[in-house]
C-alpha cells in the first residue's frame, strides 16, 4: 500500500481549536487527514504582532482601521517561526487559509491556499464604509499578491470571490478553483432520519431560524420584520434568533424566541441547536456582508431551505430554487413572504425543497466530498 503524501498545514492559531474561524480551520485539518499525512504548524507566537496592538488602538480612536496581521514585518516573523518549527521536516506540499503565512515562507514544494476571500475582497466587502490605514492596504495587498504568485492553486469558496480576486491581483483564472466549505457542526443527521422528520412536519405554524452573533451585520432587523409581516397577514409564524442580542430599543414580540449563543462543544447546547433545526421550516439569513455563510451549509444538511440576501459569497452555498433563494438586498419582506408561502402552503413542494436542500449538501457541501476534490487537485502537483 502506497504511503500517504505529507502536507504541511500552516495556521496562526491552533488548528485543533474548533471555535477558531467558525470551526473552518479545524475542519480543513480533518478534511486533509482523509487523504494526506498532515504536519500541523500552529499556533504561532504573537511576539511581534503584539507591538502593533497599541498602534491599532490609537488609530481606532480616529475611526481608522489598522490590521495587526498585515504588516510585512509580522509576516516575516511568522515565516521565521515556521522555518524553525519545521527544520529537518520532510513534507510534499504546503496548504494554508491565512495566505500571509505563505508570503515569506521559503520552500521548493508546491503551495496551496484554501480560503473564502482574499485580502482586497475582504476589506472592500466588510469595511467599505470605514477608513483603512494606508500601510494596512499597501502591506496587505503586497503580502497577498506575493503569496498568490507562489501558489499552484488557490481554492476559493464562491464565484464572487474568484472574480474579485482576478480583478484585484491579475492572477490567471486557471490558478483558481471553486471549492466550498463544509459545515462547522458535527451534528449532521442521517438522510434516513431527516426524511422521516421532514414527512412528519406539520405546515400550520411556520418556524424560521436565524443564526448569528452580530445583530446588525446578520440582518436580524429584517428577519424580525419578516416574521412580523407573516403574522400580520395571518400566517402564524415563530422566529428563533440564535446568538444575537437585540439593541435595547428593539421590541421583541412573543412569537420571537431569543436563544443565547450555543456552544457546539457543550452537549446540551448541541442538543438544543439540533432540536431547533429539526423543528424549523426555513433558515433565514439577511446578512449585510458575508464572505461565505457556513450556517447556510448546516441548514442544507438539516433539509432547511434558506432565505438569504444575494450578497458577497453566499452564491458559494445557495443555488436558487435548489437549497434556498437569494433575494436582492432591497427586496421587501412582503415580496419575500410570498416566496416562503408558495412553498410552505403546499406539502409536496415543501418536502421537495427540503430534499433538494439536503441533496445539495450531499452533492457539494460536505467535507468528505470537499476532501476528495481537494486531494484530486493537489495530487496533480505531487
85 and 206 in a common domain: no
pLDDT given at position 294 = 95
pLDDT band for position 47 (cuts 50, 70, 90): confident
pLDDT given at position 187 = 81
% of the chain surpassing 70 pLDDT: 99
370 and 359 in a common domain: no
What CATH number is given to the structural domain containing 20?
A: 3.40.50.2000
Residue-wise pLDDT for 6-20, tens only, equals 999 999 999 998 877
pLDDT given at position 1 = 56
Over residues 180-207, mean pLDDT: 92
CB 317 within 8 A of CB 365: yes
The DSSP output letter for 380 is T
224 and 295 in a common domain: yes
268 and 145 in a common domain: no
Q: Choose among 109, 168, 161, 119: nearest CA to 139.
A: 119
103 and 91 in a common domain: yes
286 and 196 in a common domain: yes
DSSP string, 296-351: HHHHHHTTPEEEEE--GGGGGT--BTTTEEEE-TT--HHHHHHHHHHHHT-HHHHH
Q: Return phi, psi of residue 55, to 5°.
A: -60, -40
What span, in angstroms and rounded, lies between the C-alpha atoms of 178 and 158? 6
327 and 221 in a common domain: yes
Statement: residue 318 has pLDDT above 80: yes
pLDDT band for position 48 (cuts 50, 70, 90): confident
pLDDT given at position 129 = 84
Over residues 353-368, mean pLDDT: 97
- For 322, the grid coordinates are 435548489
What span, in angstroms and rounded, lies between the C-alpha atoms of 161 and 121? 7
340 and 372 in a common domain: no
166 and 203 in a common domain: no
Is 29 in a helix, a strand, or coil? helix
76 and 26 in a common domain: yes
Domain count, the chain: 2
* Residue 278 placed within a domain: yes
Q: Which domain holds residue 296?
A: 191-364
215 and 282 in a common domain: yes
% of the chain surpassing 90 pLDDT: 92
pLDDT given at position 247 = 95
Residue-wise pLDDT for 269-287, tens only, equals 999 999 999 999 999 999 9
Statement: residue 31 has pLDDT above 60: yes
196 and 155 in a common domain: no
CB 184 within 8 A of CB 23: yes
pLDDT given at position 123 = 94
* Residue 1 placed within a domain: no
Over residues 113-133, mean pLDDT: 94
Residue-wise pLDDT for 342-352, tens only, equals 999 999 999 99
Statement: residue 140 has pLDDT above 80: yes
Amino acid at each position: 500500500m502506497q504511503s500517504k503524501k505529507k502536507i504541511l498545514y500552516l495556521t496562526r492559531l491552533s488548528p485543533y481549536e474548533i471555535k477558531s474561524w467558525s470551526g473552518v480551520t479545524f475542519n480543513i485539518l480533518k478534511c486533509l487527514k482523509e487523504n494526506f499525512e498532515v504536519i500541523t504548524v500552529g499556533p504561532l507566537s504573537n511576539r511581534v504582532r503584539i507591538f502593533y496592538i497599541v498602534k491599532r488602538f490609537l488609530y481606532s480612536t480616529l475611526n481608522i482601521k489598522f490590521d495587526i496581521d498585515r504588516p510585512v514585518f509580522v509576516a516575516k516573523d511568522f515565516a521565521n517561526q515556521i522555518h524553525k518549527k519545521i527544520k529537518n521536516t520532510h513534507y510534499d506540499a504546503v496548504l494554508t487559509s491565512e495566505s500571509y503565512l505563505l508570503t515569506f515562507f521559503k520552500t521548493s514544494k508546491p503551495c496551496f491556499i484554501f480560503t473564502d476571500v482574499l485580502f482586497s475582497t475582504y476589506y472592500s466587502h466588510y469595511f467599505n464604509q470605514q477608513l483603512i490605514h494606508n500601510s494596512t492596504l499597501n502591506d496587505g495587498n503586497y503580502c497577498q499578491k506575493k503569496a498568490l504568485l507562489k501558489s499552484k492553486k488557490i481554492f476559493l469558496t464562491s464565484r464572487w470571490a474568484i472574480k474579485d480576486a482576478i480583478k484585484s491581483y491579475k492572477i490567471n483564472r486557471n490558478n483558481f478553483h471553486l471549492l466550498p466549505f463544509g459545515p462547522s457542526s458535527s451534528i449532521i443527521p442521517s438522510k434516513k432520519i431527516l426524511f422521516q422528520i421532514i414527512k412528519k412536519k406539520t405546515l400550520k405554524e411556520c418556524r424560521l431560524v436565524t443564526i448569528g452573533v452580530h445583530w446588525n451585520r446578520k440582518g436580524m432587523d429584517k428577519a424580525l420584520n419578516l416574521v412580523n409581516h407573516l403574522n400580520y397577514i395571518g400566517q402564524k409564524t415563530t422566529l428563533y434568533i440564535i446568538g444575537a442580542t437585540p439593541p435595547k430599543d428593539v421590541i421583541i414580540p412573543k412569537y420571537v424566541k431569543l436563544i443565547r449563543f450555543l456552544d457546539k462543544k457543550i452537549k446540551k447546547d448541541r442538543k438544543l441547536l439540533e432540536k431547533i433545526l429539526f423543528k424549523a421550516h426555513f433558515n433565514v439569513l439577511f446578512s449585510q456582508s458575508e464572505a461565505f455563510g457556513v450556517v447556510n451549509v448546516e441548514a442544507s444538511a438539516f433539509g432547511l431551505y434558506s432565505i438569504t440576501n444575494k450578497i458577497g459569497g453566499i452564491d458559494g452555498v445557495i443555488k436558487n430554487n435548489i437549497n434556498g433563494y437569494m433575494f436582492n438586498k432591497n427586496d421587501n419582506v412582503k415580496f419575500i413572504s410570498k416566496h416562503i408561502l408558495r412553498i410552505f402552503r403546499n406539502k409536496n413542494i415543501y418536502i421537495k425543497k427540503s430534499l433538494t436542500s439536503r441533496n445539495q449538501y450531499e452533492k457539494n457541501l460536505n467535507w468528505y466530498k470537499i476532501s476528495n476534490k481537494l486531494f484530486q487537485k493537489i495530487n496533480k502537483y505531487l
